[in-house]
Structure 1
Amino acid sequence: MRPNHFPTDENTPLNWQIFSQLWPYLTEFKLRIFLAMLFLIAAKVATIYLPFILKYTVDTLNTEQVNSALVLVPFGLIAAYGALRLANVIFGEIRDTLFGRVTERAMRRLGLKVFKHLHSLDLDFHLNRQTGGLSRDIERGTSGISFLMRFLVFNIGPTLFEILVVVGVLFYNYGISFALIILVSVLSYVSYSVKATDWRTKYVREVNKADSSSSSRAIDSLLNYETVKYFNNEEYEANRYDTDLSTWENARRKNRLSLFALNGGQATIIALSMTCMMALAAYQVAHGKMTIGDFVLINAFTMQIFMPLNFLGFVYREIRGSLANIENLFSLLNKKSQVPITPNAPELSAQKGLVEFKHVGFSYRKDRIILQDVSFKILPGQKVAIVGESGAGKSTLVKLLFRFYDVTSGSVSIDQQDIRQVTQDSLRQNIGIVPQDTVLFNDSIFENVRYGRPEASNLEVNQAIDLANLRAFIESLPDKHETQVGERGLKLSGGEKQRVAIARTILKRPKILIFDEATSSLDSQSEQLILKAIKNVSKGHSSLVIAHRLSTIIDADNIIVMGDGKILEQGSHKCLLEKDGAYKQLWLAQRDNEEQNSEDSHSTESLDTK
């Protein structure tokens, strides 16, 4: 079984090659990136020059005699300080505005790519996934891209650049002592942050895993709301959800305690460093080696370095978390379908609709064989029915024809073309199905019918509705065509949903039609109307009918009887009855059951009248 979502193993180092995978999504706006970098540099230059303005201002104000000619200098410096502060903010806003479009487009492109890729994966992947956990992985991954790009480009890089410039300025103007304190402090801070953050990354992953698990549990339970109610299992579901929430709570507690250790260590390094810088500066001023302005400059530079550096610790932690989330997103993109796409495959040319299964063998697992040496044909325009007990492999044949799975042995072809050698899109464009369990989108009835061919006109949709015997039902509804069917179509009955599915397939008008117990949820009157519609629509089309009620397929050109994954016998209804084999036994058993049900119904009516 495949995993439901893809948390990275706690002991696995994060994949820093993610940056190379992200780069193609960022190069769409090269000019914007270049301009954003220019404003980034301008903002940093303004920031670095601010302490010098403070120094000159303080030194000017600190002179013993300030003559009238110099009285305006401090005010000019203060005005320059305000202008630089404003420029720093404005340049930063322009930078963020320019780069915001880049990250948003990258999120859009990558989100769409993941969405398409998920639809390209095989049925086995989707049968084993948990929708809640998967959606959380996608949501966190796309959000992580925005955070990673914004803070890595505009915080970590510029902060490191600023540190190098400040170290150089202090060394040039005040000697090695101040520069060395800053350099050692920064290296200690960064080293501690990296090691501590790497240590606590496993707790971040535990929180993400618990978050996905609880989300999956909640969504799965809500999607199966009716089943929960049928079995009075509200408390059971609540307890299971609470168990997942308890795991999430414990993971959050560990994460919070590890964060306390990280923040405490960082604060200690900053406090010691600032104390050393201020003590050394105060000593220099006391001995006349520095002015008060120099003291203010060093204090401003120290604060200016450690404020973003403190933020740098937060950013690095978040980047680690973002990388883990993005890694999960890219792991989805790395998933390979077990039904491979053939490179440069031609499109299926289905002119006649001849379907042929040749010595087909199939198994979902090696220790459980589903189909063995199955061979039959559906001639152009022919109606072929498949019957048999549950588990005989009837529905598996449909999945193989749609190429949700590839055959283990043998081949399936349409008009002499192996379906593995043509594009999957063209294959499925030529096949329409009315499934046994119809699932509708949470939209109007009209739009659910139109889904069979989204580009169809309103007239064509209405024609399909009429052919599927849906008109009277729709007209009886207060909102008519615009009636919302609810999530998964839960507002409609089973028979109503199947008639919508039949209309949808009629609208598609494919070359090959499949009816997988299409009338199983209908009453006898509706069934006859639908069978008539199916017969009309099937003219000129090859059709495969999987049936439980044998009375619905007596007009089939060929009836295939399956058992234990093999074809037991095949032929017309009349021929199979004459053979006195498996089909006749099924026929007699169903007839006896219907007669018994009829007698029971008459007995009930008789008792009601007494």
Structure 2
Amino acid sequence: MYMNTLRKRSFQIYADHIRPYKGRVFLSWIFLLFAQIIGLVPPLLYKRFVNILSSGTSMDTDISMLVRIILLVVVVYIVMNICYRIAEYVVVHYVARIMADLNQTCFAYLHRHSHQFFSNNFAGALVKKVNRFVNSFRVLFDSFYWDLHGVVVRIIVATCVLAFLNIWLGVILFVWSILFIFVAFLFIKKKLVWDVQKADQDSVVTGVLADTIANETNVKFFVGSSREYARFETETRTQQYLQERSWMVNYWLNVAQGVLLLLVEFCMMYYAVQLWRQGLLTIGDFVLIQSYMFAIIAHVWDVSHIMRRLYEGFADAEEMAEIFETPHEIVDVKRATTLVVPRGEIVFDDVSFQYHATRTIIEQFNLTILPGQRVALVGHSGAGKSTIVKLLLRSHDVTAGKLMIDNQKISHVTLESLWQHVSYVPQDPILFHRTLMENIRYGKPDATDEEVMEAARLAHAHEFIESFPEKYDTYVGERGVKLSGGERQRVAIARAILKNSPILILDEATSSLDSESERLIQDALQNLMKKKTVIVVAHRLSTVMSMDRILVIEEGKIVEDGSHKQLLRKKNGFYKKLWNIQAGTFIM
């Protein structure tokens, strides 16, 4: 039942994308239909040709008639090919456009999913599902449009022509065709079970491979090659087993089809001979019957291959259809308004948040951050600091309570307007595999080159960028792997400087910097923070000494609140203990 739902969903998506091109689809179908019908005319002409040769009439009359038949056959083939080429020309253009539209639809739908969705799915597996979904449209379209349609037309036309010669010839051919297709359907339906499992396993294998490639440094330096190989071998062995099961079903299908072909050839020829002995068929009729038999057998034999492609296409499409059936977790409410941030006040009002309704991270959390205030969140790992940031960014929605910016509930404003007013520098920034200029300009797409360079100077990134041979046109590699951690961090800070949003979030933004880089960047951050509401998540207390407020978070609650000096005056305070532990490493 679930598979049927996914199949219907796939059909619905494909149909929605075909609809804008329905005029072109109909035009190409008319030419295709005419070409397939006219392609069955030559056997009728050959029948006449053979009958003339075997008639024993005047040689001059025969030659004249034979030449006319040959010329007519040539004309038929020319017209047929012209119709096929016109149909193909039209199809090439609209199928390419539909595939591009499908790619864009998948892209848009995926990127509306929440951060949690991408945390739970391999990037490589998602990419492969999109590619399979788009490619399956081409496979399904070709199978239905070019192949299955041709089989149906040929069976109908050939059955009607043979039935005109003798009703039982038409009945035998038609019944056999239905039986052949039914047997193919039974086998292919069984094969689909294995194909679906194999498609799922293909995604697992791809995901494991992509994960190990992305973590190649960990694999090497933690001596994990043998463990990862064993894991990958287990998954590929499962993939191998599923592939073998699928192919064995196909093997027995070929055996059954071979038996059915022998059966229909014997029945048709035996019955035709009986009719010939009774004087009801001519030699030309035998040529006609055999020509249609060869044409039908060749195309009906292809039905199994067509159905296999159809089911494989459906199996591939259903993977992505399942994602389309997965609703977006974080969406704009109806009539969501555009966030306006004239001041930058942030209020957490009795906010609670749970993961999967089982693990409470934050409960009845209250916090007011005044406009232009710089607030640091410190505490042990897992205390809830990053969760507070994710709630503000709406990577998650609050379970209870209200989260407001300038008296506007962020759940009632559009996500795009929320993100436009927030600059975010994560702990481990990931860059696009593009140039440094493009990565920094991502914060402000219409920025000039001079503005990009100025932002890089403020983030102390300009110096190392200028050291590259290609300078700002240097490609950073996938995820920015060609840069050091500190360099990536400074590029991310430059991007945030360029964006210049009224609210700034720094999530361990200087954690990847060495002491010298951190010293250089502190001045840039001080300039960046001016006239902004700032939230800084930090473990290194040296980065938060100048904050207006420092909040110590423990188990999702604020246990201490004050400036650096105020918190140090608390004798047994949590912040003071952390300070004493880290004091020896600070740059004063």
Q: Give me the TM-score of the superposition, normalised by structure 2.
A: 0.96
The 3-state SS of whatever aligns with 1:561 is: strand
Amino acid across the alignment from 1:392: A
Q: How does 1:473-492 map to 2 (within 5 A)?
A: 473-492=464-483
Q: 1:28 to 1:366 in 2, by over 3 A?
A: closer
CA distance in 2, matches of 1:288, 1:48: 25
Amino acid across the alignment from 1:378: I
Which residue of 146, 163, 173 corresponds with 2:155? 163
Q: Equivalent residue for 1:557?
A: 548
Amino acid across the alignment from 1:433: Y
The answer to whether structure 1 residue 55 and structure 2 residue 47 are counterparts is yes
The 3-state SS of whatever aligns with 1:433 is: strand
Cα deviation per residue 1:569-590 (whole Å; 9 max; x = unaligned)? 2112222222332222222222
Q: How does 1:489-504 map to 2 (within 5 A)?
A: 489-504=480-495
CA contact (8 A) 2:9 2:321 kept: no
Q: How does 1:348-427 map to 2 (within 5 A)?
A: 348-427=339-418
Deviation at 1:499, TM superposition (A): 0.6
Deviation at 1:177, TM superposition (A): 1.6
CA contact (8 A) 1:385 1:556 kept: yes
Which residue of 76, 82, 85 corresponds with 1:93? 85
Q: Equivalent residue for 1:316?
A: 307
Which residue of 188, 196, 218 corresponds with 1:197? 188
Q: How does 1:51-130 map to 2 (within 5 A)?
A: 51-130=43-122
Amino acid across the alignment from 2:50: V
The answer to whether structure 1 residue 463 and structure 2 residue 465 are counterparts is no
Deviation at 1:79, TM superposition (A): 2.2
Deviation at 1:528, TM superposition (A): 2.0
Amino acid across the alignment from 1:145: F
Deviation at 1:14, TM superposition (A): 6.8
Q: Equivalent residue for 2:138?
A: 146
CA distance in 2, matches of 1:17, 1:474: 48
CA distance in 2, matches of 1:321, 1:426: 42
With 485-494 and 281-290 compared, the bigger mean Cα shift is at 281-290
CA distance in 2, matches of 1:125, 1:294: 65
Deviation at 1:218, TM superposition (A): 0.8
CA contact (8 A) 1:144 1:323 kept: yes
Q: How does 1:181-260 map to 2 (within 5 A)?
A: 181-260=172-251
The answer to whether structure 1 residue 276 and structure 2 residue 267 are counterparts is yes
The 3-state SS of whatever aligns with 1:121 is: coil
Deviation at 1:12, TM superposition (A): 6.4
Cα deviation per residue 1:444-468 (whole Å; 9 max; x = unaligned)? 2222211222222111111111110
With 198-207 and 224-233 compared, the bigger mean Cα shift is at 198-207
CA distance in 1, matches of 2:78, 2:266: 30
CA distance in 1, matches of 2:266, 2:82: 33
Q: 1:16 to 1:364 in 2, by over 3 A?
A: closer
CA contact (8 A) 2:352 2:364 kept: yes
Amino acid across the alignment from 1:572: S
CA contact (8 A) 1:58 1:293 kept: yes
- Misfit runs of 4+, over 6 Å: 11-14
Q: Equivalent residue for 1:178?
A: 169
CA distance in 2, matches of 1:13, 1:565: 42
Which residue of 437, 454, 476 corresponds with 2:445? 454
Q: Which runs of 5+ in 2 are unaligned?
A: none
Amino acid across the alignment from 1:74: L
Amino acid across the alignment from 2:579: W
Give aligned-pair identity as a percent: 34
CA contact (8 A) 1:185 1:270 kept: no
Q: Equivalent residue for 1:27?
A: 19
CA distance in 2, matches of 1:323, 1:530: 54
CA distance in 2, matches of 1:18, 1:129: 21
The 3-state SS of whatever aligns with 1:490 is: coil
Q: Equivalent residue for 1:608?
A: none
Q: 1:142 to 1:587 in 2, by over 3 A?
A: same
Cα deviation per residue 1:475-527 (whole Å; 9 max; x = unaligned)? 22232222222221222211111111100111111110011121122222321
Amino acid across the alignment from 1:161: V
Cα deviation per residue 1:104-157 (whole Å; 9 max; x = unaligned)? 222221221111111111121111102222222222211111111222123223
Q: Equivalent residue for 1:534?
A: 525
Amino acid across the alignment from 1:227: N
Deviation at 1:414, TM superposition (A): 0.6
CA contact (8 A) 2:199 2:315 kept: no
Which residue of 514, 525, 538 corresponds with 1:523? 514
Deviation at 1:180, TM superposition (A): 1.4
The answer to whether structure 1 residue 568 and structure 2 residue 526 are counterparts is no
Amino acid across the alignment from 1:55: K
CA distance in 1, matches of 2:197, 2:153: 34
Deviation at 1:392, TM superposition (A): 1.1
Q: 1:449 to 1:147 in 2, by over 3 A?
A: same
CA distance in 2, matches of 1:69, 1:316: 49
CA contact (8 A) 1:217 1:241 kept: yes
Amino acid across the alignment from 1:553: V
The 3-state SS of whatever aligns with 2:59 is: coil
Q: Equivalent residue for 1:131?
A: 123
The answer to whether structure 1 residue 337 and structure 2 residue 345 are counterparts is no
CA contact (8 A) 1:50 1:84 kept: yes
Q: Equivalent residue for 2:283?
A: 292
Q: Equivalent residue for 1:606?
A: none
Q: 1:463 to 1:13 in 2, by over 3 A?
A: closer
Q: 1:20 to 1:485 in 2, by over 3 A?
A: closer
CA distance in 2, matches of 1:268, 1:33: 38
CA contact (8 A) 1:14 1:324 kept: no
The 3-state SS of whatever aligns with 1:488 is: coil
Cα deviation per residue 1:24-53 (whole Å; 9 max; x = unaligned)? 211222331121121112112212212111
Deviation at 1:229, TM superposition (A): 1.0
CA contact (8 A) 1:386 1:394 kept: yes
For the aligned residues, what is the CA RMSD? 2.0
Amino acid across the alignment from 2:306: V
CA contact (8 A) 2:344 2:406 kept: yes
Q: 1:140 to 1:405 in 2, by over 3 A?
A: same
CA contact (8 A) 2:440 2:495 kept: yes
Q: Equivalent residue for 1:579?
A: 570
With 87-96 and 37-46 compared, the bigger mean Cα shift is at 87-96
Amino acid across the alignment from 2:114: D
CA contact (8 A) 1:141 1:325 kept: yes
CA contact (8 A) 1:394 1:562 kept: yes
CA distance in 1, matches of 2:585, 2:29: 79
Q: 1:378 to 1:158 in 2, by over 3 A?
A: same
Cα deviation per residue 1:586-607 (whole Å; 9 max; x = unaligned)? 222222x438x99xxxxxxxxx
Deviation at 1:366, TM superposition (A): 3.1
